[in-house]
Amino acid sequence: MESALYAPVFGITGQAFCAALLIVGGYGALHSFAHTDIDSLVAFFFLPASFFLSVQAAASYYPGILASQVGAERVLGLIDLPAVWSDAAEAIDLPDPRSSTTISIPTTSVAI
């Protein structure tokens, strides 16, 4: 199943991005490249980690969402099928249940 590939791919992508960030940022911090400070590098190191963790969490929901969509399509397919039965020729229509029908409930008393 393809959906099992998404979570590990996002994990590897996040790790590769952090490695590239440390290489380029470390070089910049050691050689004063574009006025890069160690503080900025450490702060920027934690920001992509939270981004990739949220993307990984979203990727873990994908199989459940896909299964829900397939189930909904099956239900809608059943609803769209024509009826395989027909009413008898002498059948009469039932009255509309939404009409002004009153229901009376008799009062009862219970002795305890």
Query: How many whole angstroms separate alpha carbon 58 and alpha carbon 8?
Result: 12
Give the burial class of 52: count Cβ atoms within 10 A of its Cβ; 0-12 exposed, 13-18 middle, 19 or more buried.
middle
- pLDDT band of residue 86 (cuts 50, 70, 90) is confident
What DSSP assignment string belongs to 36-90? --HHHHHHHHHHHHHHHHHHHHHHHHHHHHHHHHHHHHHHHHHHTSPPS----TT
DSSP-derived 3-state class of residue 28: helix
Residue 71: what pLDDT?
A: 93
pLDDT tens digits for 9-58?
777 877 888 788 778 877 777 777 667 677 777 777 777 777 777 777 77
pTM confidence score: 0.42
**What's the mean pLDDT in 74-87?**
87
Query: Which of 52 and 73 is assigned the larger pLDDT?
Result: 73
Residue 105 Rama label (left phi>0; alpha psi -120 to 50; beta) = beta
> What is the token pair recorded at 95?
């009255």
